[in-house]
Chain A
Amino acid sequence: MPILFGIIAAVFGLALVAIVLTVVLVPIFRGIGWLVSHVFAFVGGEIRDALRLVGAAITAVIFSLLVVANILIFRWSASAHFGRAFSAEIGAGAASVYRILVGHPARLLGLNTLVEGLERRVPDAVAAAPTADRPSRRTGQFENYRIIGSLPGGGSGGKLYIAEPDDLKLASFARNGQRDVEQVVIKSFSLQDGSSLPQIVRESRALDAAKKLGLVLDHELSPERFFYVMRYVPGESLGLVTQHLHAASPDGGLSNANLGRSLGYIEKLLGTLSRYHRGGLWHKDVKPDNIIIHGDDAHLVDFGLITPLRSAMTLTTHGTEYFRDPEMVRMALKGVKVHEVDGAKFDIYAAGAVLYSVVENQFPAHGGLSQISKRCPDAVRWIIRRSMTEYAKRYPNADAMLADLEFVRRAADPFAIKPAELPSVAGGASLGCRGRAGARRGIHVCPAPGRGRPGRPCPGRGRRPRLRVVRGRPRGRAGRRRGSGP
């Protein structure tokens, strides 16, 4: 009997020891493992960057010698080439110094969020900084305009200047119904300044369309250059504003107030797109860096790619990666004509991608399959999905998407709204995905009576969203405007 008790006690004792080992020792060992790997990552990073720094210093010395040597033999172009390479090495060296002194130690101490601004927002702001404030002597001056600044150049290759029109020009604008113009943006293309003929042709093609919407105040086309003039709106791009909003919100995503503001910007964007589409135009390059935020207003800018929806031309793959519908690329590669598709739907895809990037503070790198990991109402997730889904199943027009978004934004608690309650779903537009045949018939979707807001006219008819000023805008961290497919 005592032996039996002894065995049972031993078994219990062993079990107890096993439990203690599991509960106490395993986490301790895990913690030690994490600490060791963290320290190794730090040491490894420091060594790597120290070696990179030495390598950059050696390479920079070589490049500086090449610069001098080429100056001595009057090879100016080669000298400038090696000068750029020298600058790149200095930049790489400086980045290594930063990582050695600040980046790696901060990560070792778990202060990743502390250096986020330095590593992400500062480079973005520097990359987006304007260029020279005066046009080059070769480009010449712009008659009746006084240049007062510049903006970063976009993917289109044009140069952008901020200018003030003189009294003569202001009177001319007033005669054409354009009042209250204070400052303008001049987008200039000059063959001598490196613009290419295709760029000029493309931009001038967009000109007629833009004039129809009253976006262009003035233009000039001469053998040397082409420029056009738009109103100027000061402000920051939605890309930068999004970063600020996320920095001012908790880690998990936008706060309620910032989410409401962001949705408001997208509402303005959709209102503008609706106006474009009703005017028979398709913007084709909707992205955060082409949306300027000024107060509570969002202004869609850069119409270098604007295309008439009824154009007889073949679709092109122009646009910006992540915000360009892959379906459009497929169609373009098959040689589909613009008038054979509904180009407005490609703008709707881009608007959904912009909404995604605002909520997530990331690009939709996964296209329509991009996951939404940040705090976001289910109904907004649905709106993003519906706008980025396959061409035929997408919102039929910008107004239908706008109606859904307004419904969520004006709800007392957007998080309480279920996708099934959205006007487009309650009205049967979503559940009755009509497929390609429906899309071809141009079915118009209205909120179901009684489920949308009472007394509201059917979206897509009669609403006149405001369209504000436009100015040319640059590429940003979103990547470059792509000229072609793979």
Chain B
Amino acid sequence: MLSSMTTSFVARLRANDQAAWFELWETFGPVVRAQLTKWGNGRIGAETVRDLSQETMAALSNSIDRYDPSRGARFSTWLLAIAKHVLGDEMDRRMAAKRGSGKKTATLEDAWMAGSREARVDDAYEAAVFRAKVEAAIRKVERECEFTDFEIFRMRVLDGKSGKDVADAVGVSEPTVSRRLAKVREILRARVAETVAIFSFTEEELHEGERNGLVQSPNKADDVLFDEAVAEIFHRQLELRAAEEAGGRR
């Protein structure tokens, strides 16, 4: 059963709300590009991958009206199946359907709704989709928090600096650093829950946060674990983007 937030987001997509589509593209574009690069196996360049990731979103927008939540596909599977379709389409275009030959490009089937057999989901991809959700939550927090508060969070949690170093850098006391950090953490907890809920189609996806150490119950010990989990997820996502950037240069 879809959460109300997912339903409303899907409704925005169906209504062709460009801001919603941009949010989807901004959040999952890197994951889709990484997957397309992997499938392309060196046969498609970075520029083409960029174009294809945009085409994936266009294909999603064409198929959104046919989305049937009762058939139980995961959000990640949905995204992956469409990406695979777009890549296959591109390969068809290149290999056989040279312009004027009369061969039609691939048509999108509804197989993805029940989890396409062709678009196999591997653990690395699932993890990347989840990390993208957490990254989107961090972005929301960045937009929402005071600049200095977020910088304290960035230095302390994402850059791993000590409380004293952060306090020195920003020119505040250590207790102030802790207080502001707690404030940002609280907002981040809420945004992670919210973002995961928006981009989840199944119950299993909804609980990915807890399985990855992003526990929602606030206590001192959990705070440390939460910070470590966030930093770990964030840095893994950075690696994905760095790999994508390196792939673009080869």
Contact = CB atoms under 8 A, between A and B. Distances in A.
A436 B245 CA distance: 34
B146 A433 contact: yes
Interface string B11-34: 000000011011001100110000
B93 interface: no
A333 B18 contact: yes
Contact of B171 (A334, A369, A425): A425
Contacts of A356: none
A333 B19 contact: yes
B143 interface: yes
Contact of B148 (A433, A479, A480): A433
Interface of A: 48, 52, 78, 81, 119-120, 326, 329-330, 333-334, 362-363, 365-369, 371, 378, 382, 385-386, 389-390, 393, 418-421, 425, 430-431, 433, 477, 479-480, 485-486
Interface stretch (B78-86, B134-142, B195-203): B134-142
Given A52-B42, A433-B146, A433-B147, A419 B170 contact: yes
Given A366-B238, A389-B142, A486-B25, A378 B169 contact: yes
Interface of B: 18-19, 21-22, 25-26, 29-30, 42, 47, 50, 54, 57-58, 99-100, 135, 138-139, 142-143, 146-148, 150-151, 154, 158-159, 168-172, 234-235, 238, 241-242, 244-245, 249-250
A326 B238 CA distance: 18
B21 A369 contact: no
Contacts of A329: 22
B212 to A, nearest CB: 19
B244 to A, nearest CB: 7
Contacts, number: 89
A385 B25 contact: no
A78 B98 CA distance: 11
A368 B153 CA distance: 14
Contacts of B150: 389
Contacts of B148: 430-431, 433
Contacts of B99: 81
Contact of B147 (A78, A367, A386): A386
B246 to A, nearest CB: 10
Nearest to B150: A389
Contacts of A477: 249
Contacts of B238: 366, 371
30 contacts: A48-B42, A330-B22, A333-B21, A365-B30, A365-B241, A365-B242, A365-B244, A365-B245, A366-B238, A366-B241, A368-B142, A369-B139, A369-B142, A382-B169, A385-B154, A390-B147, A418-B169, A419-B169, A419-B170, A419-B171, A421-B171, A425-B171, A433-B146, A433-B148, A480-B47, A485-B18, A485-B25, A486-B22, A486-B54, A486-B57
